[in-house]
A and B are shown apart, each in its own frame.
Chain A
Amino acid sequence: MTPNPPCSSGACNGGGGNGNGGMNRRSFLRTSGVLASGIAALAASLAPLRDLTDYTSAAEFMQKHYKELSKDDMDKVLDRITREVEKQYAIRPHVKDYKPMDGVEFVYCLNLTRCIGCRKCVHACVAENNQSRDPEIQYIRVLKMPHGSFDMEKGDHNYSTPTVPEKGFFYMPVQCQQCKNPPCVKVCPVEATWQETDGITVIDYDWCIGCRYCEAACPYFARRFNWTKPSIPKDSINPEMSYLGNRPRKQGVMEKCHFCIQRTRAGKYPACLEVCPAGARKFGNILDPNSEVSYILRTKKVFVQLKEELGTSPRFFYYFDV
C-alpha cells in the first residue's frame, strides 16, 4: 500500500505540462486498449442471447392496452395472434375477443359433500385453456382435508392415492375466486389485470410486465406465472381461443382461471364443471333469479367464502348437502 508516484519512471516530467505528448499517447493507447477489451468482454458475456428464439415483433411491442384498442386495432391483433399460433402449432385457430354480456354476473358454487377429489377438473382445465404442459401449469388446486377442519394448513396438496375418495377426508378444489374486491387488480402497477362487468377478472397477456405483484397479493394462490416459454404439444391445442382467455401465452407473463371466458361468454359451461363426474360444480348468472346458482345461494343455510375476513368477497361459494 505504498504510494506509487506516477512519474517515477520518467515517462512524464514531473506532472507539469511539458510531458504532455508522451503522456497523451500512452494514455490514448491505454484507453483504447481498455475500451477494446471491454467491448470484447461485453460481447462475450452477452453470448447466451444467441439462443433467443422468441423475438417480440414491432407490432406486439407497440401494441396498446386492451382497453385502448379500437375495433380495427383489435382485428389486427387477433390476426397477428392467429398467424403466430398457426406458425408455432401448425393449426388454424379461431381467435375471438368475447365481450361480457349485459345483465350477467357469473358465480360458481361448489358442493364439498359431493367432490370426490378425482382431479378431473384440473386436467380438463389444462386441456381447455391451452396451459403449458412442460412445465405443467394448473389453475385448480385440490386440497385433501381431514374431516372436521377448515384449516388449509392441514390440507394435502400432493395426495396420490390409487382411489378416491378416502375415508376420513374431504376434498376442496381451489381456483381463482373471482373476487368482487380483487387484491390482484388493485396492486398491478400497469393495469394489466382488471375485473370485467360479468365479474371475471382477466389479464391482458400482451400488457403484463411480469412483476408478479399480483401473485403475491392473491390470497388464494390462484395466479400462475410463465417461468419459461410454455410448451404445448401441437395435437393438444384447443383451437377455440379468446384474447383474454385461453390463447397461448408467452414466457414471462401471468395467467389464471378466467371461468373459461371462451365458453361461458358463448353460453356454455366451464370445462371443469362439464367434466365433474360427481356433479359437485354449479355455475351461472347470479343476476338471474331462476338460475341454479341463485337457487343454491337462496336456499342453502350455510355456504363458505374462503378467507371471508379478508374482504375480498369471492364469487366462489362452497356449500354442503346438509
Chain B
Amino acid sequence: MINATKNYFHFLWRCGRIAFVGDWRYYAWMGILSVIILLGINAYAKQFVHGLMVTGMSDQVSWGVYIANFTFIVGVAAAAAMLVIPVYIYDNKELHDLVIFGELLAVAAILMCLAFVTVDLGRPDRFWHLIPGIGKFNFPGSMLSWDVIVLNGYLLLNVHICGYLLYCRYQGRTPSKWFYIPFVFLAIGWAISIHTVTAFLYVGLGGRPFWNASIVGPRFLASAFTAGPAIIILALQVIRHVTDYRISDKALLTLRSIVQVSMLINVFLLFNEVFKEFYTRTSHVAASNYLYFGLHGFHALVPWIWTAILFNIVAMFILVLPMSKSLKYLNVACVLAIVGIWIEKGMGLVIPGFIPSPLGEMVEYTPSLNETLVCLGIWAFGLLAYTLFLRMSIPILQGRIAKSNEGASDDHLFAAGQKSDQTTASPHVTTTHI
C-alpha cells in the first residue's frame, strides 16, 4: 500500500517535472498564455473589489459573455463523447488511440466552465452554499443545482478515465476493463446530460419566450457535436505537428463525417426555429426580431448573427462536398463552424433572451474591456491546461515516461516536445491499447 502510494507520487512528480520542460516554442507558448492569464486575474481582481459593475451587464441584461462562453464550452466538453462513441460502440479502431485526447480536452473544458461560472457570481466568497451537504442545495428544483452536479460529475469521470489509463500505461500493465469501461459508458450518457441540463437552464424559464422553446435542447446538442469534434480535428493536427505522435489522416476524416452530419442537423434545426418564429409572428417574435433584424432601432447583434449564419452555411457546404476530404478545406470548414457556433450558441443565445426585457424595455449589452480580459484569461487558462495535459500524457503514451525507466534521467525528454530523431527515446509505440 505504502509502496503503491509512493509509486503514484513518483509518477505525479515525473509528470509535474515534464510540464516544465520543452523547446523554445513550448516556452514561448506557455509564456504568452501565462501573461494573458495574469491579465485576466488582474481584471478579475478589479471586478472582485468593485463588483460586477465593471462588466457591461445590467438588471435588464443580467447575464453576458461569461455565461455565453460557459454555454459554448459546455458543448465542447460534451463533444469528447463523440470520440468515445465510435470507439466503444462501433468499435472504430482509427480513433481508438485518440480517445484520451478528447477526454483531456473535456477536462480542460470543464475547468474553464467552472471558472466562467465562478467569475459570474456576485458573491464568490459564498461558493460553499452550493456544496451539497454543507450548503443548502436546491435539488432537484433548480436546474443550476443539476448543472453543478453534472459538470463536476463529468469532470471526475473524465479525470478518472484519463488518469487510470495513463497510469496503467506508465506502469506497463493492461488496464482492467472493470475499472474503466463502465465509466466510459457512464461518461457517454453523462456527456449528453451536461449539455441537456445546460440547455434546460434556459428552456425552463417561462418568462423568456426566446429560450422557452423545446428546440433549444436538440440545437444545443447538434451544435456541440459540430463544434466539439471540429476543435478536436484542429487540436489533433497541432499535436501531430509539434510532436512526433502519429495521428493518421484517416482518423481525422472519421471525425469529419461526425462534424458533417451534426452540422447538417444543426442548420436544419436552426431553419425550424426561424420558420416557427417568423411565419407565425406572435408577440414572442420580438427577441428573434431583435437578434436577426434589430428592433426599435437597436441592432447590436445583427452583424454577429448573420456572420454566424454565413459561417455555418459555408462550413456546411464545404463539409458536405468532397473537397473537405483535403485537410486544407476541412480546416477552413472547422474554423468557420467553431466561430459560427461560438457566436450563435454564446452571445446569440444568451443576449436576445433578455432583449426586450420582460416589461418590453430595450436595453442593449456590450461587454466591457474588463469583462473581455477576464474571458481571455479563462480561455488562456483552458489552453494552458490542455497543453499541460498533453505535455504530460504524450510521453507516457509513447512509453518515454514509464515505470521501466524510472531510475533513468528524464533528460532525453527535454527534446520530446518536438520532432526529433533522438536515439535515446524508447521505441515508438504506434498502437496504444487503451
Contacts and interface: CB of A to CB of B under 8 A. Distances in A.
A225 B137 contact: no
19 contacts: A5-B415, A48-B49, A51-B50, A153-B360, A155-B360, A183-B207, A187-B141, A187-B144, A189-B148, A191-B136, A191-B138, A209-B124, A210-B52, A213-B201, A221-B359, A227-B58, A252-B121, A252-B122, A312-B206
Interface stretch (B38-46, B170-178, B264-272): B38-46
Nearest to A52: B49
B15 to A, nearest CB: 15
A48 B204 CA distance: 38
Given A6-B414, A151-B283, A221-B60, A228 B50 contact: yes
Nearest to B146: A189
Contacts of B137: 189-191
Nearest to B296: A153
Given A15-B415, A221-B60, A227-B52, A209 B142 contact: no
Contacts of B204: 187
A5 B425 CA distance: 13
A67 to B, nearest CB: 8
Contacts of A56: 125
Given A51-B49, A207-B129, A310-B206, A46 B360 contact: no
A312 B358 CA distance: 14
A213 to B, nearest CB: 5
A56 B53 CA distance: 19
Interface in A1-56: 1, 3-7, 12, 14-17, 19-20, 23, 27, 31, 34, 38, 41-42, 44-49, 51-52, 56
Contacts of B303: none
A20 B409 contact: yes
B286 interface: yes
B417 to A, nearest CB: 10
Given A48-B45, A157-B359, A190-B129, 9 more contacts: A6-B23, A12-B414, A45-B41, A61-B125, A157-B361, A190-B138, A208-B123, A210-B122, A212-B120
Given A47-B45, A225-B122, A307-B207, A215 B62 contact: yes
Looking at A183, A189, A213, A221, the one whose CB has the most chain B CB atoms below 10 A away is A189
Interface stretch (B76-84, B107-115, B309-317, B349-357): B349-357
A226 B208 contact: no
A252 B123 contact: yes
A216 B143 CA distance: 13
A41 B38 contact: yes
A190 B41 CA distance: 27
Contacts of B415: 4-7, 15
Contacts of B57: 227
B48 interface: yes
Contact of B424 (A15, A61, A209, A225): A15
Kindly list the 10 A-B residue pairs having the minimum CB-CB distance in the complex, ordered from nearest: A210-B122, A219-B207, A252-B122, A153-B360, A228-B53, A189-B144, A228-B51, A152-B360, A45-B42, A48-B45
Nearest to A64: B136
Size category of the binding interface on chain A: 35 or more
B424 A16 contact: yes
B122 A311 contact: no
A216 B122 contact: no
Contacts of B39: 45
B42 A48 contact: yes
A254 B414 CA distance: 53
Tell me if A's interface is mostly helix, strand, loop or mixed: loop
Interface string B271-311: 00000000000010010000000000000000000000000
Contacts of A207: 126, 129, 136
Contact of A192 (B49, B129, B141, B411): B129
Contacts of A47: 42, 45
A214 B154 CA distance: 26
Contacts of A151: 283, 360
Nearest to B125: A56
B130 interface: yes
Contact of A3 (B201, B283, B418): B418
B62 A212 contact: yes
Nearest to A219: B207
A135 B359 CA distance: 21
Interface string B125-153: 11101100001111001111100100000
B422 interface: yes
A154 B121 contact: no
Interface string A148-164: 00011111010000000
B20 A189 contact: no
Nearest to A187: B142
Contacts of A49: 45, 48-49
Interface string B162-203: 000000000000000000000000000000000000000100
Looking at B20, B23, B143, B206, the one whose CB has the most chain A CB atoms below 10 A away is B206
